[in-house]
Amino acid sequence: MTRKVINTRLDLVEYSSVGKGTPILFIHGGHANCQDTLPQKGLDKTKFQLITPSRPGYGKTPLCRHKTPGNAADLLVAFLDALNIQEVIVYAISAGGYTALELVSNYANRANKLLLVSAVTKKWLNAHEITYRLAKFLFNLFFEWAPWGIVHIFSKLTPGLIANNFFPEFSTKPGVIIKKNESIELTHTLQHYRSKEGFANDIRQDINVSVLQNINCPTLILHSKYDASVSIEHAEHAHREIKNAVKVLLENKWGHLIWIGDDYKETLSLILDFMNEKSSISNKL
């Protein structure tokens, strides 16, 4: 995956772009960056242009003046302007949900559809919770290189061990036997992960419910019932507040990472039907 940097009217943005056709703007989750290709799995590069910018604080996209989801959305619109792209399908993943919601709400003419996958849509971590304190410690700018360095090394040496240890972080489904190809798929993804300044900023963020209530474009919400990272309350919240949104709760065993394994085949069909405006999606829900 070739990483590029473009100068927009607001700041530099690092990004990757492959394919041609209908542009899809991927707004990645925590710890990821423009090299995160897992959510692109199964999408035809002859029909879609797959665009992934590194969100502020990740990769080479600076955080500085873009710490709020609204500021980040402004930067991504400037990024689309620099690429001469008027309208996109917005594909939001995990902690990228806040920014995606602000973009679609504040710039209605730039997004024709919104896909929320395992996405945060309300306050995510409470500052008093142990999960928040541990994340703040492990993934701060001055220390995050250490845990990710260990993960990167052992992902290459023992992908099965890494997959088994990480699985409970993503899924609550008991008794799962992880296949070799699933381990490889996960560890390939983890190889590109770094928290930089981005994740510590993500866990401090929140969003006003009025942002969701202002969204009018077709919206598909996909969330696994077994998601251990972002609870299904976020999907239910988005479904309540976004007009005419469609919510699908998945039985995907990988929970937060719905793209891994055979369970994704049926989910991909839903995504493609939504993107291609096929009426059959309503018959599958």
Q: Active-site residue numbers?
A: 94
Instruction: Let me know if 204 is exposed, middle or buried by CB neighbors in 10 A (0-12, 13-18, 19+).
Output: middle
How many of the other CB atoms lie within 10 Å of CB of 228? Answer: 15
Classified as helix, coil or strand, 31 is coil
Residue 163 makes CB contacts below 8 A (sequence gap 6+) with 178, 182, 183, 186, 187
Residue 253 near residue 261, CB atoms below 8 Å? yes
Instruction: Return the residue matching tokens 């009025």.
Output: 210
How many of the other CB atoms lie within 10 Å of CB of 232? Answer: 17
Instruction: Return the residue matching tokens 């479904």.
Output: 239
Choose among 200, 57, 221: nearest CA to 125.
200
- Strand ranges (E), the chain: 4-7, 12-19, 22-27, 48-53, 88-93, 111-117, 219-224, 246-250
Residue 187 near residue 152, CB atoms below 8 Å? no
Token output for 265: 């085949």
Query: Which CA distances in Å does 122 have to 28, 63, 75, 226?
Result: 17, 21, 21, 19
Classified as helix, coil or strand, 6 is strand
